[in-house]
Amino acid sequence: MVINLDNAFGIHTRALSLYSQRTAVLAANLANADTPNYKAQDIDFKGILTRLSSGGNESSQMAATQAGHFGMKTITSRAAERLYRQPHQPSLDGNTVDVQAEQAAFTDNALRYMTTLRFVSGKVQGLMTALRGE
């Protein structure tokens, strides 16, 4: 039996990558909490993860219906997946960052990251136990 390490960790590796991207987006929201006209953003986590786990890769591909069409694999869909938040209470200066909500989302995201990390860590330890055979 050959263990495929790419599949050993299942969805968790993709989830980790997405969580770290979301960390950066939420950090940008908090960094721009006082910037006029900045619009708070977030990513469609469920949508991206569903697409990634259904076999798609991170770049969105255009349909090639003719022999001469290019694949256009270089267009990454990450930027398109970033959506603007619906503001509860926008400021007069056009800023829609709600610092408390963003901090809550950031903490939530960090905890989810650590949870996923724990799953991956458990997988690694399981593999190590199997390899050692002690």
Binding site for another protein (CB under 8 A): 16-17, 20-21, 23-28, 30-36, 38, 41, 43, 78-79, 82, 99, 103, 106-107, 110, 113-114, 117, 120-121, 124-125, 128
Cβ proximity to another protein: between 69 and 118 the closer is 118
Least distance (Å) between residue 55 CB and another protein: 23
Q: Residue 30 and residue 104: Cα distance in Å, rounded?
A: 11
Is the Cβ–Cβ distance between 87 and 96 less than 8 Å? yes
CA 46 to centroid of chain Cα atoms: 9
Least distance (Å) between residue 103 CB and another protein: 6
Is the Cβ–Cβ distance between 38 and 90 less than 8 Å? no
Cβ proximity to another protein: between 2 and 79 the closer is 79
Is the Cβ–Cβ distance between 38 and 95 less than 8 Å? yes
Cβ proximity to another protein: between 52 and 117 the closer is 117
